[in-house]
Structure 1
Amino acid sequence: MNNPKLWTKNFLIISTANFFLYFTYYLLMVTITIFATEKFHASPSQAGLASGIFVIGILIARIFSGRYIDQVGWKKMLYIGFTFFLITTCLYILVNNMYFLLINRFLNGAAMGIASTATGTIVAKVIPNERRGEGTGYYTLSLTIAASIGPFLGMFITGHASFYMNFIVCIILLVFSFIAVFFVKVPRLEFKKEQLEQRKGFSLHNFFEIKAIPISIVATIIALGYSSILIFITSYTKEVNLVDVGSLFFVVYAIFVLVSRPFTGRWFDKKGENFVMYPAILLFATALFILSQTHKGFSLLSAGALFGLGYGTTSSSVQAIAVKVSPKHRIGLATSTNFIFQDLGIGIGPFILGYFVPLIDYRGLYMMMAVIEFICIFLYYFLHGKK
């Protein structure tokens, strides 16, 4: 029996559009603090707020876009999100004070939340159920590659050209993706009368998909570990005198995600999610442990490789599981629920973990996170694996 087709025009367009969304996200996330500091002489806390308020915008928008995406329409929500995101990205060129920057960062984050919820919902529908793990894995590669290229290119442009060139590059790429999404054919989803009645009112059930919450809790703990690397790896490599090698950490991470994604996705579909999730979480915990013991460049890059195999696999798998366990008519809510929980882990991670650094230093922090991620294996078992 032949597998249904995965690499359709719709799948390719949505994946490409998602790449440009996250490319802009990561490029500006690592450079906006420099912009705020140099342009408006912002204090470190103000510059940090300029970066973090974007995530707040994402979270708020995802809660409401997941709630209303079915009523508004998936394709219409896609257009709204991309239009809003393109406009607010253009507005960066006009920013002339710190207050304007903070407001626009919040609105830009909200637009990102709407657009990414729409792309995640639509791609969940166009991926055949028989290839759910494989398709979700390839789709989330757009995020992984963006997370590798965006920060690198942003820092390169900042160091070799005017800072405003960052905005221009993002705008050009977003215009391209904005045009492309108009050629997406979004599958129609018919709702029964009782399903529409359930959506009325203001209740938790209408903002979150309850069946997706257990795996989303696991996703939060995994994302917490990811945030410890994303935020503190640069400072850590300076502390252990591995700055030059440290610049290659995320490159190695991306390479191993790219290499592993094809077969981990197929294993998910053919052997089940437990076959993939247990070893992936263990590999992630091992990566954090090696990171805590790093003294040489080889061990640092080895941790990057295991990080790619571990976190790179879990991040796509939890999204596929959230959709898999949820009713078809609540795919939008399942997608936004999983994203919200992952964003919470990444968003609150730096704030919480930052308190531990003065107490146990970076090595102690990564050892602590290794233990937490190892415990997450049992959390996964009780919340989803045993079922």
Structure 2
Amino acid sequence: MTRAGTGRSLLLSRRFLGAAFVNFFATSNFFLLVPITVLLVHHRYDAPLSVGGLVAGALLAGGVVARPLAGPALHALPARALLVLTMSTMTLATAACLLPVGLTVFTLLRFVSGLAFGITSTATLAVAVAGLPSERRGSGTGWFGLSNSLAGAIGPAIGLFVANRWGYDTVIAAVVGLGMLGCVAAALLPRQPRPAPGPASRSSGLRRFLEPAALPLCVFIACAGIVYSSIYGYLDAWSVSQGLTAWAPWFFVCYSTMVVLSRPITGRLMDSTPPAVVMLPALATVALGLVLLALMDSAGLMVAAGLVCGAGMGTVLCSATVLAVRIAPPGRIAVTASTFYLALDGGVALGPPLLGLALPYWGYPGLFTAMAILVALVAALFLALDRRSLFA
């Protein structure tokens, strides 16, 4: 069997596909419920929309808190046992939301779901790529990322459609069903030998939870997270002010389509070309899409911005994930992935409130122009890091 053939068979292993399916079901849980949480809380508890936003943020907060715990958890428990435990916790916490609980308990349940989601999504990446040959990790990461992209593309649309047709409880019940499928997928993962004590298990202090080698990349990905959050956080409001409300869903359809299409292509390129050859054109594409958003005054520009932003941002996020996997020291893939996702989540979480403070002064065109400038600074940062061979 050729080396290429061996790499391909390893890429499609039961371990890799099982981890991808678990991640898809976990991420679908996240994306089906987040878009409807604000209105669900508003209607069920007669609470202000701002309170609904805080409840939605509880899930995000749980994910952020859990990220650093994923690495140590994966070293303390067998991967299959850990993922069965986290998927079961997420499913039970979601199912409990169908009970007549108070707002405080409901918020706590969403936080617990976020904890389980954060560990699951980080651990599945580590499980999927750990068995790949080094020359196939780019392609593998790209294909694995499809589980995130597909869930992010179809989850919000299905969640909103089901909620409008059959109500919020039906969405929760559907998410419980997906969680049960995730539990089955986790239980069917092949048994893996316990890793021998290595650098991750011997680490103490912050090194037990964070990987210092990934910190330069974390600055880069946190900035990318802020840019990403500006699109998801303010595109809808910008479309309303421009009288393009009916076209806003099409922006996200185009955006998600390009993200899905870019994933496997980007992973393959990262296996065969220097990182800068992939990353710099992608960052330029993101900057162009943000400029189109700043100039947006027609449906055509909105659709074009969705296509351009999706192609660029999909490539940037996939490439950065590949780099995180590539720079991970031996035995510390899970900890490095935790550090990477923590930085990304932090940027996404901090972006909307920080940009909201500047919005009254900049306006929407100024906000998206500022994000295009930030992308240029991110490109300069990447060049500085790349010159020091941090991503070799």
Identify if the C-alpha distance between structure 1 residues 17 and 68 changes in structure 2 by more than 3 Å, giving closer, same or farther: closer
Equivalent pair of 1:291/1:363 in contact (CA under 8 Å): yes
Partners of 2:261 and 2:124 in 1: CA distance: 24
Equivalent pair of 1:122/1:186 in contact (CA under 8 Å): no
1:31 aligns with 2:33: no
1:133 aligns with 2:134: no
- Give 3-state SS (helix, strand or coil) of 1:94's partner: coil
The aligned residue for residue 146 of structure 1 is 151
Give, as a single letter, the amino acid of the residue that structure 1 aligns with 2:123.
A
Q: What percentage of aligned pairs have identical amino acids? A: 27
1:162 aligns with 2:163: no
Equivalent pair of 2:266/2:318 in contact (CA under 8 Å): no
* Equivalent in 344, 347, 351 of residue 346 of structure 2: 344
Deviation at 1:43, TM superposition (A): 1.5
Identify if the C-alpha distance between structure 1 residues 104 and 286 changes in structure 2 by more than 3 Å, giving closer, same or farther: same
The aligned residue for residue 287 of structure 2 is 285
Q: CA RMSD in A?
A: 1.6
Deviation at 1:293, TM superposition (A): 0.5
TM-score, normalization by structure 1: 0.95
1:195 aligns with 2:199: yes
Partners of 1:230 and 1:196 in 2: CA distance: 35
Partners of 1:84 and 1:111 in 2: CA distance: 6
Equivalent pair of 1:287/1:307 in contact (CA under 8 Å): yes
Equivalent pair of 1:214/1:384 in contact (CA under 8 Å): no
The correspondence of residues 253-332 of structure 1 with structure 2, limited to 5 A, is: 253-332=255-334
The aligned residue for residue 104 of structure 2 is 99
Equivalent pair of 1:224/1:349 in contact (CA under 8 Å): yes
Deviation at 1:95, TM superposition (A): 4.4
Deviation at 1:237, TM superposition (A): 0.9
Structure 1 stretches of 4+ moved >6 Å:
none
Partners of 1:139 and 1:385 in 2: CA distance: 28
Partners of 1:261 and 1:56 in 2: CA distance: 27
Give, as a single letter, the amino acid of the residue that structure 2 aligns with 1:234.
D
Partners of 2:193 and 2:293 in 1: CA distance: 47
1:242 aligns with 2:244: yes
The aligned residue for residue 15 of structure 2 is 10
Equivalent pair of 2:286/2:313 in contact (CA under 8 Å): yes
Deviation at 1:219, TM superposition (A): 0.9
The more displaced of 64-73 and 246-255 is 64-73
The more displaced of 38-47 and 220-229 is 38-47
1:114 aligns with 2:119: yes
Partners of 2:142 and 2:304 in 1: CA distance: 22
Equivalent pair of 2:267/2:322 in contact (CA under 8 Å): no
Deviation at 1:19, TM superposition (A): 1.3
1:52 aligns with 2:53: no
1:20 aligns with 2:57: no
The more displaced of 9-18 and 316-325 is 9-18
Deviation at 1:42, TM superposition (A): 1.1
**Structure 2: segments with no counterpart, 5+ residues:** none
Partners of 2:276 and 2:372 in 1: CA distance: 20
Equivalent pair of 2:94/2:176 in contact (CA under 8 Å): yes
Q: 1:332-368 CA distances to partner (integer Å, 9 max, x unpaired)?
A: 1011111111000111111111111222121111111
**Structure 1: segments with no counterpart, 5+ residues:** none
Partners of 1:40 and 1:222 in 2: CA distance: 36
Equivalent pair of 2:72/2:201 in contact (CA under 8 Å): no
Deviation at 1:370, TM superposition (A): 0.8
Q: 1:84-112 CA distances to partner (integer Å, 9 max, x unpaired)?
A: 11111111101432111111111111111
1:80 aligns with 2:82: no
Partners of 2:324 and 2:126 in 1: CA distance: 11
Q: Report how many aligned residue pairs link the two structures.
A: 384
- Give 3-state SS (helix, strand or coil) of 1:247's partner: helix
Give, as a single letter, the amino acid of the residue that structure 2 aligns with 1:156.
F
Partners of 2:199 and 2:130 in 1: CA distance: 18
Deviation at 1:278, TM superposition (A): 1.0
Partners of 2:191 and 2:247 in 1: CA distance: 44
Partners of 1:13 and 1:139 in 2: CA distance: 10
Q: 1:256-286 CA distances to partner (integer Å, 9 max, x unpaired)?
A: 2233333222111011222211111111111
Equivalent pair of 1:30/1:151 in contact (CA under 8 Å): yes
